[in-house]
Amino acid sequence: MELQLKEFSAALGLLKPAIDKNSKMEFAKCFMFYPDKVMAYGNEMLISIKNPYEVKGMVKADALLAFLKKIKGEKVELGVADGDLTVTLGKEKAGFRLVDLPEYGFTGIFDGYEKAKKKAKAIPEGLVEAMKLAAFCTAPNSNYPNYRSVYVKDGYVNTTDGYRIYRNALETAAGLPEFLLPANTCKVLESEIVSEILVSGEENANFIYFTGEDYFLAAELPDSLINTYPDVEGVMRQFLKGDSVKTVDMSLPDGLFEALEKAKSFLTDTIDILDQQVDIEIKKGRILVKGQGLDSWYKGSVSVKDYTGPDLVFSANPHFMADILPNVNRLTVSERGLCFSGEKFDYCFARKEQKK
Protein backbone atom coordinates (compact mmCIF):
# COMPACT_ATOMS: atom_id res chain seq x y z
CA MET A 1 0.00 0.00 0.00
CA GLU A 2 1.56 3.29 -1.12
CA LEU A 3 1.39 6.24 1.29
CA GLN A 4 2.56 9.82 1.50
CA LEU A 5 5.40 9.70 4.04
CA LYS A 6 4.56 13.11 5.49
CA GLU A 7 0.89 12.23 6.00
CA PHE A 8 1.65 8.83 7.55
CA SER A 9 4.16 10.37 9.97
CA ALA A 10 1.68 13.12 10.91
CA ALA A 11 -1.10 10.58 11.56
CA LEU A 12 1.09 8.54 13.90
CA GLY A 13 2.24 11.79 15.50
CA LEU A 14 -1.34 12.40 16.63
CA LEU A 15 -1.15 9.14 18.59
CA LYS A 16 2.31 9.67 20.04
CA PRO A 17 1.20 11.55 23.22
CA ALA A 18 -0.57 8.37 24.36
CA ILE A 19 2.60 6.27 24.05
CA ASP A 20 4.21 5.54 27.42
CA LYS A 21 7.56 3.83 26.88
CA ASN A 22 8.04 3.44 30.65
CA SER A 23 4.78 1.59 31.21
CA LYS A 24 4.76 -1.99 32.48
CA MET A 25 1.91 -2.68 30.05
CA GLU A 26 3.21 -3.68 26.64
CA PHE A 27 0.27 -2.16 24.75
CA ALA A 28 1.08 1.30 26.18
CA LYS A 29 4.35 1.30 24.21
CA CYS A 30 2.71 0.37 20.91
CA PHE A 31 0.58 1.58 18.05
CA MET A 32 -2.41 -0.77 17.87
CA PHE A 33 -3.81 -1.35 14.38
CA TYR A 34 -7.40 -2.61 14.62
CA PRO A 35 -9.50 -3.20 11.47
CA ASP A 36 -11.28 0.16 11.74
CA LYS A 37 -8.93 2.28 13.84
CA VAL A 38 -5.35 2.86 14.97
CA MET A 39 -4.96 3.70 18.63
CA ALA A 40 -2.55 4.26 21.48
CA TYR A 41 -3.38 4.06 25.17
CA GLY A 42 -1.06 5.40 27.84
CA ASN A 43 -0.27 8.51 29.87
CA GLU A 44 -3.87 8.63 31.18
CA MET A 45 -5.39 8.91 27.69
CA LEU A 46 -6.54 6.86 24.72
CA ILE A 47 -6.21 8.39 21.26
CA SER A 48 -7.72 6.80 18.15
CA ILE A 49 -7.74 7.69 14.45
CA LYS A 50 -9.18 6.01 11.35
CA ASN A 51 -7.22 3.01 9.99
CA PRO A 52 -6.88 3.03 6.18
CA TYR A 53 -3.60 1.07 6.26
CA GLU A 54 -4.67 -2.58 5.74
CA VAL A 55 -2.63 -3.57 8.78
CA LYS A 56 -3.73 -5.47 11.89
CA GLY A 57 -1.58 -5.95 14.98
CA MET A 58 0.51 -4.11 17.52
CA VAL A 59 3.92 -2.57 16.79
CA LYS A 60 6.45 -0.74 18.99
CA ALA A 61 5.92 2.98 18.46
CA ASP A 62 9.40 4.34 19.21
CA ALA A 63 11.18 2.19 16.62
CA LEU A 64 8.66 2.97 13.87
CA LEU A 65 8.65 6.73 14.56
CA ALA A 66 12.46 6.86 14.70
CA PHE A 67 12.76 5.19 11.29
CA LEU A 68 10.14 7.43 9.67
CA LYS A 69 11.96 10.47 10.99
CA LYS A 70 15.28 9.40 9.46
CA ILE A 71 14.17 8.49 5.94
CA LYS A 72 13.66 11.07 3.22
CA GLY A 73 11.23 10.90 0.36
CA GLU A 74 7.66 11.60 -0.65
CA LYS A 75 6.11 8.13 -0.64
CA VAL A 76 6.60 4.83 1.19
CA GLU A 77 5.19 1.35 0.64
CA LEU A 78 3.48 -0.15 3.68
CA GLY A 79 2.95 -3.88 3.88
CA VAL A 80 2.90 -7.02 6.02
CA ALA A 81 5.31 -9.93 5.50
CA ASP A 82 6.22 -12.86 7.75
CA GLY A 83 4.57 -11.27 10.76
CA ASP A 84 6.28 -7.91 10.30
CA LEU A 85 4.99 -4.49 9.35
CA THR A 86 7.25 -3.45 6.48
CA VAL A 87 8.09 0.07 5.31
CA THR A 88 9.83 0.41 1.95
CA LEU A 89 11.34 3.53 0.41
CA GLY A 90 13.28 2.95 -2.78
CA LYS A 91 16.03 0.45 -2.00
CA GLU A 92 15.53 0.83 1.75
CA LYS A 93 13.26 -1.52 3.65
CA ALA A 94 12.59 -1.96 7.38
CA GLY A 95 10.48 -4.44 9.32
CA PHE A 96 8.74 -4.06 12.66
CA ARG A 97 7.41 -7.09 14.51
CA LEU A 98 3.62 -7.23 14.69
CA VAL A 99 2.19 -8.91 17.79
CA ASP A 100 -1.35 -9.83 18.77
CA LEU A 101 -3.70 -7.08 19.84
CA PRO A 102 -5.30 -7.04 23.32
CA GLU A 103 -8.41 -9.21 23.02
CA TYR A 104 -10.75 -6.82 24.79
CA GLY A 105 -9.96 -3.91 22.47
CA PHE A 106 -10.82 -1.30 25.11
CA THR A 107 -14.44 -1.59 24.03
CA GLY A 108 -15.74 -0.23 27.35
CA ILE A 109 -14.24 3.19 26.61
CA PHE A 110 -15.86 3.36 23.18
CA ASP A 111 -19.15 1.95 24.43
CA GLY A 112 -19.28 4.59 27.15
CA TYR A 113 -18.97 7.27 24.49
CA GLU A 114 -21.62 5.72 22.24
CA LYS A 115 -24.13 5.56 25.10
CA ALA A 116 -23.67 9.21 26.01
CA LYS A 117 -22.67 10.91 22.74
CA LYS A 118 -26.03 12.66 22.40
CA LYS A 119 -24.86 14.85 25.28
CA ALA A 120 -21.72 15.93 23.44
CA LYS A 121 -21.35 19.68 22.95
CA ALA A 122 -19.35 21.90 20.66
CA ILE A 123 -16.14 22.84 22.42
CA PRO A 124 -16.62 26.35 23.86
CA GLU A 125 -14.60 29.03 22.16
CA GLY A 126 -11.30 29.56 23.95
CA LEU A 127 -11.53 26.46 26.17
CA VAL A 128 -8.71 24.48 24.54
CA GLU A 129 -6.37 27.47 24.62
CA ALA A 130 -7.28 28.27 28.26
CA MET A 131 -6.65 24.69 29.40
CA LYS A 132 -3.33 24.48 27.54
CA LEU A 133 -2.23 27.70 29.22
CA ALA A 134 -3.43 26.56 32.64
CA ALA A 135 -1.43 23.33 32.28
CA PHE A 136 1.77 25.36 32.72
CA CYS A 137 0.77 26.00 36.35
CA THR A 138 0.45 22.33 37.28
CA ALA A 139 3.01 19.93 38.72
CA PRO A 140 3.02 17.13 36.11
CA ASN A 141 5.18 14.82 38.22
CA SER A 142 3.26 15.28 41.47
CA ASN A 143 1.87 12.23 43.25
CA TYR A 144 -1.23 14.33 44.05
CA PRO A 145 -3.59 14.17 41.03
CA ASN A 146 -5.16 17.57 41.78
CA TYR A 147 -1.79 19.26 41.40
CA ARG A 148 -1.19 17.77 37.95
CA SER A 149 -4.69 18.52 36.65
CA VAL A 150 -6.73 21.43 35.30
CA TYR A 151 -10.07 22.05 37.02
CA VAL A 152 -13.00 23.51 35.05
CA LYS A 153 -16.06 24.70 36.98
CA ASP A 154 -18.71 27.40 36.62
CA GLY A 155 -16.99 29.10 33.70
CA TYR A 156 -13.55 29.17 35.34
CA VAL A 157 -10.44 27.28 34.26
CA ASN A 158 -8.32 26.77 37.39
CA THR A 159 -5.01 25.23 38.34
CA THR A 160 -2.82 25.16 41.41
CA ASP A 161 0.16 23.14 42.58
CA GLY A 162 0.16 24.64 46.08
CA TYR A 163 2.70 27.31 45.09
CA ARG A 164 1.11 28.74 41.96
CA ILE A 165 -2.48 29.53 41.01
CA TYR A 166 -3.96 30.33 37.65
CA ARG A 167 -7.62 31.25 37.22
CA ASN A 168 -9.19 32.20 33.89
CA ALA A 169 -12.79 33.41 33.60
CA LEU A 170 -14.23 31.82 30.45
CA GLU A 171 -17.89 32.70 29.97
CA THR A 172 -18.27 30.31 27.03
CA ALA A 173 -17.54 27.33 29.32
CA ALA A 174 -20.14 28.24 31.96
CA GLY A 175 -22.57 25.52 30.82
CA LEU A 176 -20.13 22.62 31.06
CA PRO A 177 -20.23 20.10 33.94
CA GLU A 178 -17.27 20.44 36.29
CA PHE A 179 -14.30 18.22 35.55
CA LEU A 180 -10.64 17.61 36.27
CA LEU A 181 -8.37 16.95 33.30
CA PRO A 182 -4.72 15.83 33.55
CA ALA A 183 -2.28 18.45 32.26
CA ASN A 184 -0.72 15.84 29.98
CA THR A 185 -4.00 15.71 28.08
CA CYS A 186 -4.48 19.49 28.00
CA LYS A 187 -1.20 20.10 26.20
CA VAL A 188 -2.14 17.52 23.52
CA LEU A 189 -5.42 19.19 22.51
CA GLU A 190 -5.53 21.34 19.37
CA SER A 191 -8.58 23.43 18.54
CA GLU A 192 -8.05 22.70 14.83
CA ILE A 193 -8.51 18.96 15.46
CA VAL A 194 -11.11 18.59 18.21
CA SER A 195 -14.60 20.03 17.80
CA GLU A 196 -16.76 18.35 20.49
CA ILE A 197 -16.48 17.60 24.19
CA LEU A 198 -18.40 15.08 26.26
CA VAL A 199 -18.25 14.87 30.04
CA SER A 200 -20.15 11.61 30.14
CA GLY A 201 -21.45 11.45 33.71
CA GLU A 202 -23.01 8.25 34.98
CA GLU A 203 -22.61 6.34 31.68
CA ASN A 204 -18.82 6.29 32.03
CA ALA A 205 -17.76 8.64 34.79
CA ASN A 206 -14.06 7.84 34.46
CA PHE A 207 -13.54 9.50 31.07
CA ILE A 208 -13.97 12.76 29.24
CA TYR A 209 -14.09 12.66 25.45
CA PHE A 210 -12.75 15.06 22.82
CA THR A 211 -13.66 14.23 19.24
CA GLY A 212 -13.14 15.59 15.75
CA GLU A 213 -13.24 14.29 12.19
CA ASP A 214 -11.68 10.79 12.36
CA TYR A 215 -10.16 11.70 15.75
CA PHE A 216 -11.09 10.39 19.19
CA LEU A 217 -9.47 11.13 22.56
CA ALA A 218 -10.67 9.68 25.85
CA ALA A 219 -8.96 11.03 28.96
CA GLU A 220 -9.05 9.37 32.34
CA LEU A 221 -10.66 11.60 34.96
CA PRO A 222 -9.75 11.69 38.65
CA ASP A 223 -13.42 12.51 39.39
CA SER A 224 -13.25 11.18 42.95
CA LEU A 225 -10.93 14.07 43.81
CA ILE A 226 -13.16 16.92 42.63
CA ASN A 227 -14.54 17.43 46.14
CA THR A 228 -10.99 17.73 47.48
CA TYR A 229 -9.77 20.28 44.94
CA PRO A 230 -8.19 23.25 46.75
CA ASP A 231 -10.22 26.40 47.28
CA VAL A 232 -8.51 28.56 44.64
CA GLU A 233 -9.84 31.87 45.97
CA GLY A 234 -8.89 30.87 49.51
CA VAL A 235 -5.31 30.08 48.49
CA MET A 236 -5.12 33.39 46.63
CA ARG A 237 -6.21 35.23 49.77
CA GLN A 238 -3.48 33.48 51.75
CA PHE A 239 -0.86 34.48 49.17
CA LEU A 240 -1.95 38.12 49.32
CA LYS A 241 -2.47 38.31 53.08
CA GLY A 242 -0.61 40.76 55.29
CA ASP A 243 -0.27 44.39 56.23
CA SER A 244 2.00 45.41 53.38
CA VAL A 245 -0.14 44.33 50.43
CA LYS A 246 0.51 46.69 47.54
CA THR A 247 -1.04 46.91 44.06
CA VAL A 248 0.85 48.67 41.28
CA ASP A 249 0.05 49.31 37.64
CA MET A 250 2.12 47.13 35.35
CA SER A 251 3.15 48.09 31.83
CA LEU A 252 5.72 46.00 30.01
CA PRO A 253 8.89 47.33 28.41
CA ASP A 254 9.90 46.74 24.82
CA GLY A 255 12.40 43.92 24.64
CA LEU A 256 11.00 41.76 27.44
CA PHE A 257 9.54 39.17 25.11
CA GLU A 258 12.78 38.99 23.13
CA ALA A 259 14.68 38.43 26.40
CA LEU A 260 12.28 35.62 27.34
CA GLU A 261 12.76 33.99 23.94
CA LYS A 262 16.55 34.15 24.27
CA ALA A 263 16.50 32.76 27.81
CA LYS A 264 14.19 29.97 26.69
CA SER A 265 16.63 28.91 23.98
CA PHE A 266 19.24 28.11 26.63
CA LEU A 267 17.02 25.57 28.41
CA THR A 268 17.70 21.89 27.78
CA ASP A 269 15.45 20.06 25.34
CA THR A 270 15.35 17.08 27.69
CA ILE A 271 13.08 18.98 30.11
CA ASP A 272 9.35 18.73 29.43
CA ILE A 273 7.88 22.01 28.20
CA LEU A 274 5.64 22.18 31.30
CA ASP A 275 8.66 21.95 33.61
CA GLN A 276 10.87 24.56 31.95
CA GLN A 277 11.76 27.59 34.09
CA VAL A 278 13.56 30.91 33.73
CA ASP A 279 14.41 33.34 36.53
CA ILE A 280 12.92 36.83 36.43
CA GLU A 281 13.99 39.74 38.64
CA ILE A 282 12.01 42.98 38.70
CA LYS A 283 13.65 46.09 40.18
CA LYS A 284 13.13 49.79 39.94
CA GLY A 285 14.47 50.70 36.53
CA ARG A 286 15.00 47.24 35.05
CA ILE A 287 13.87 43.65 34.59
CA LEU A 288 16.43 40.83 34.47
CA VAL A 289 15.73 37.50 32.74
CA LYS A 290 18.01 34.49 33.13
CA GLY A 291 17.97 31.09 31.43
CA GLN A 292 20.22 28.29 32.68
CA GLY A 293 21.17 25.28 30.55
CA LEU A 294 23.41 22.32 31.27
CA ASP A 295 26.54 23.95 29.85
CA SER A 296 25.50 27.54 29.17
CA TRP A 297 23.42 30.40 30.49
CA TYR A 298 21.86 33.69 29.42
CA LYS A 299 21.15 36.88 31.34
CA GLY A 300 19.35 39.82 29.75
CA SER A 301 18.44 43.24 31.12
CA VAL A 302 15.50 45.33 29.97
CA SER A 303 14.85 48.92 31.11
CA VAL A 304 11.51 49.71 32.78
CA LYS A 305 10.49 53.25 33.68
CA ASP A 306 7.25 53.11 35.62
CA TYR A 307 7.60 50.20 38.07
CA THR A 308 7.19 51.44 41.65
CA GLY A 309 6.76 48.13 43.50
CA PRO A 310 9.26 46.22 45.63
CA ASP A 311 12.19 44.23 44.26
CA LEU A 312 10.99 40.80 43.14
CA VAL A 313 12.71 37.52 42.22
CA PHE A 314 10.75 34.55 40.90
CA SER A 315 10.93 31.59 38.52
CA ALA A 316 8.34 31.01 35.81
CA ASN A 317 7.69 28.99 32.71
CA PRO A 318 8.85 31.15 29.76
CA HIS A 319 6.16 29.86 27.37
CA PHE A 320 3.44 30.67 29.90
CA MET A 321 4.83 34.13 30.73
CA ALA A 322 5.12 35.07 27.06
CA ASP A 323 1.42 34.25 26.65
CA ILE A 324 0.07 36.13 29.68
CA LEU A 325 2.32 39.17 29.86
CA PRO A 326 0.71 41.05 26.92
CA ASN A 327 -2.54 41.02 28.91
CA VAL A 328 -1.16 41.99 32.34
CA ASN A 329 -2.32 45.36 33.63
CA ARG A 330 -1.71 45.15 37.37
CA LEU A 331 0.54 43.48 39.92
CA THR A 332 -0.37 42.82 43.57
CA VAL A 333 2.45 42.07 46.02
CA SER A 334 2.51 40.89 49.63
CA GLU A 335 5.09 39.33 51.93
CA ARG A 336 3.93 35.86 50.92
CA GLY A 337 3.16 36.10 47.23
CA LEU A 338 2.43 38.13 44.18
CA CYS A 339 -0.29 38.15 41.57
CA PHE A 340 -0.28 39.23 37.94
CA SER A 341 -3.78 40.11 36.78
CA GLY A 342 -5.54 40.90 33.54
CA GLU A 343 -9.12 41.59 32.57
CA LYS A 344 -10.22 37.96 33.03
CA PHE A 345 -7.34 36.13 34.67
CA ASP A 346 -5.18 35.99 37.78
CA TYR A 347 -1.79 34.32 38.15
CA CYS A 348 -0.52 34.17 41.73
CA PHE A 349 2.44 32.42 43.30
CA ALA A 350 4.53 32.29 46.44
CA ARG A 351 7.50 34.64 46.63
CA LYS A 352 11.10 33.60 46.88
CA GLU A 353 12.99 34.95 49.85
CA GLN A 354 14.88 38.05 48.81
CA LYS A 355 18.64 37.99 49.09
CA LYS A 356 19.96 40.32 51.76
pLDDT at 290 over 60: yes
Pick the CATH number of 247-350 from 2.30.42.10, 3.10.150.10, 3.40.250.10, 3.40.640.10: 3.10.150.10
pLDDT at 352: 61
pLDDT at 116 over 60: yes
pLDDT at 331: 83
pLDDT digits (tens, 9 = 90+) for 62-84: 999 999 999 999 999 999 999 99
**Which amino acid is residue 35, in one-letter code?**
P
**How far, in Å, CA of 241 to CA of 238, rounded?**
5
Helices and strands per DSSP (H, E), number in the chain: 8, 24
Q: Where do the domains of the chain lie?
A: 2-97, 107-233, 247-350
Determine which helix (DSSP H) or strand (DSSP E) holds 250, and give its type and residue range: none
Q: To the nearest whole percent, how much of the chain has pLDDT over 90?
A: 51
**How far, in Å, CA of 280 to CA of 185, rounded?**
28
Q: In the CATH scheme, what architecture does the domain 107-233 have? A: Roll (3.10)
pTM of the model: 0.86
pLDDT digits (tens, 9 = 90+) for 13-39: 999 999 999 999 999 999 999 999 999
CATH topology of domain 2-97: DNA Polymerase III; Chain A, domain 2 (3.10.150)
Average pLDDT over residues 102-121: 88
Same-fold call for 107-233 versus 247-350: yes
Average pLDDT over residues 261-273: 81
Strands 45-50 and 37-42: antiparallel
Burial 162-182 (b: 16+ CB within 10 A, else e): eebbbbbbbeebeebeebbbb
**Which amino acid is residue 216, in one-letter code?**
F
Q: 254: pLDDT confidence band, cut at 50, 70 and 90? A: confident
Q: Which of 219, 239, 233 is nearest to 153 (CA)?
A: 233
The alpha carbon of 330 is separated from its chain's Cα centroid by a whole number of angstroms, namely 27
Q: Average per-residue pLDDT in the chain?
A: 88
Task: For residue 318, give every residue at least 6 positions away whose Cβ sits within 8 Å of its Cβ, in sequence order, or none.
Answer: 260, 261, 263, 264, 267, 276, 277, 278, 291
pLDDT at 342: 86
∠ CA 61-63-68, nearest 5°, is 95
Query: Are 93 and 86 a contacting pair, CB within 8 Å?
Result: yes
Q: 354: pLDDT confidence band, cut at 50, 70 and 90? A: very low
φ, ψ for residue 267, nearest 5 deg? -75, 150
